[in-house]
Structure 1
Amino acid sequence: MPDSFFDYQSANAFHAYSTAHLIQIVILIILCLLMFTLRSAIKRKASAKRTIRYVIVGMLILSEVTLNIWYVSQGIWRTRTSLPLELCSVTLLLAIIMLLTRSRLLYSIVFFAGMTGALQAVLTPSLDYTYPHFRFLQFFIAHFAIILSALYMTWVEDYRPTWKSIGVALIFLNVLAVVVGIINYMIGSNYMFLMHKPLTPSIIDWLGPHPYYLLSEQGIALLFFTILHLLFFVLPGSWKQHSQKNNSKEKSYL
């Protein structure tokens, strides 16, 4: 295996929407479509449900463990940059607990905060390395697994959030931001980009200067959470009811 696969000084820089990046987006779409298409078949077999659930748990744990091994092996583990205090790191840990315990409270947080954060990370990665570097692969596997964990609980375990779940997720984000903000102040870090914007291009660049983008993120989070709820639950429910009414009318004419 070439040294550049692990070397943190690798010169192969990541470029957004390069071929390597677009391939990862396509892979995510395929995985989501497979999960949705096979959901009924998976539901019918307890062994299949258990296997997929533990595979996702394994992906989550392995991505976090190997990341820290990489930090240590490269001599770059630092409290200011390596603690699991980014939003996706926190929701990754919560996703593991959610899958193992089937917690409905954690499901609300992972579905809204986890999915939104992971999707944003996949589309606009804050990443220094491109394929085939370890960090490139670890980054996308971790974020894919967060998204798949929420979709598994939705499509296979039939979990459903309510409108109140959006409020729960927003409260969680604000409490987390306060806690992480205090830690940032104490150790001079920038977890969750609370102190300044990321150095690489991201959606935050569109939200104004610091600290105003922190307020803008509240509205963006509410918007994205609402869109997710509408797309996954409200609109499909309306279409199903409309289809059932049409079928009833057709039967009455027979």
Structure 2
Amino acid sequence: MFSLFGPVHITTLCIIATTSFTTIHLYRTTCDKTQKTIRQLLAICCLISYPLHLTLALIAENALSLENKVPFHLCDLAAIICGAALLTQRSRLCELAYFWGLAGTLQGLLTPNLTSTFPSPAFFSFFWNHGFVVVAALFIPLAIKWRPEKHALWRVFAITQIYVVLAMSLNFLLKTTNYGFLHHKPEQASLLDLFPAWPWYILLLEFICLLLFLLLNLPFSLKSQK
């Protein structure tokens, strides 16, 4: 049974933090050719998250629900976007990777919707996906020196609203899915337990999402004003 902020959880978070620091440091202190290799390897780690999830489930002979077969959770999409952003370095992809990775996926790392602990395939798959998304989200501004454009925050927030509508529509049509945790709260302990009941917690999530986006954009706004 997975224990929130137990020894395994804390150790895993420390490993992810160390991986992030080491990757950024290596990128900053190596030549262009090595930098390209680091960026490509990190992109691959993000892009294989979903295939790895399916492979580990097959090895463990776990029957996957429809929700786990179709990668439409925000963190699943963020992993794909992070991989594409690292490979192309396109600003629009980088802004999605940055805001979604640190405002959304980081919260998943801190309060995982997970029952199995180390060394289960589900544990490994979950932290691989979420861990590398957060590493990439930090890597993009701190290593490759990407900076958000003027209206990036509002553009990403608008795209997030499109995701909310699509996820809620899929949940309604498929009945058995809970993409974005927009149908009901996670089964495991999470910050949403402190929120009001459905659908009111969704409105509160929208407010917190915008607040986090503003905070993530703040360092760049302050720097541009100097």
What TM-score results when the alignment is normalised by the length of structure 2?
0.90
Q: Distance in 2 between matches of 1:60 and 1:36?
A: 16
Equivalent residues of 1:81, 1:191 under 8 A apart: no
Q: Which residue of 2 aligns with 1:40?
A: 28
Q: Which residue of 1 aligns with 2:106?
A: 119
Point out 4+ residue stretches in structure 1 off by more than 4 angstroms.
none
How far the C-alpha of 1:20 sits from its partner, in A, is 0.4
Q: Distance in 1 between matches of 2:224 and 2:101?
A: 26
Q: Distance in 1 between matches of 2:2 and 2:120?
A: 10
The alignment status of 1:62 with 2:48, answered yes or no, reads: yes
Q: Distance in 2 between matches of 1:172 and 1:91?
A: 12
Q: Distance in 2 between matches of 1:185 and 1:116?
A: 25
Q: Distance in 2 between matches of 1:238 and 1:159?
A: 14
Paired residue type of 1:32 = S
Decide which moves more: 93-102 or 195-204. 93-102
Q: Distance in 2 between matches of 1:40 and 1:67?
A: 31
Q: Which residue of 2 aligns with 1:175?
A: 162
Q: Which residue of 2 aligns with 1:49?
A: 35
Equivalent residues of 2:27, 2:34 under 8 A apart: no
Equivalent residues of 2:99, 2:216 under 8 A apart: yes
Deviation string for 1:18-76 (max 9, x for gaps)?
A: 1000011112222233344445314xx11221111121122123321121123345251
> Any residues of structure 2 matched to 1:202-221 within 5 Å, and which?
202-221=190-209
> Any residues of structure 2 matched to 1:1-254 within 5 Å, and which?
13-42=1-30, 45-73=31-59, 74-188=61-175, 189-231=177-219, 233-234=220-221, 237=223
Change (3 A) 1:200 1:30: same
Please list every run of 5 or more consecutive structure 1 residues that lacks an aligned counterpart in the other structure: 1-12, 242-254
Equivalent residues of 1:49, 1:156 under 8 A apart: no
Q: Distance in 2 between matches of 1:57 and 1:106?
A: 13
Structure number with bigger Rg: 1
CA RMSD, Structure 1 to Structure 2 (Å): 2.0
Paired residue type of 1:54 = Q
Paired residue type of 2:195 = L
Change (3 A) 1:154 1:24: same
Equivalent residues of 2:57, 2:121 under 8 A apart: no
Paired residue type of 2:107 = Q
How far the C-alpha of 1:238 sits from its partner, in A, is 8.0
Paired residue type of 2:33 = S
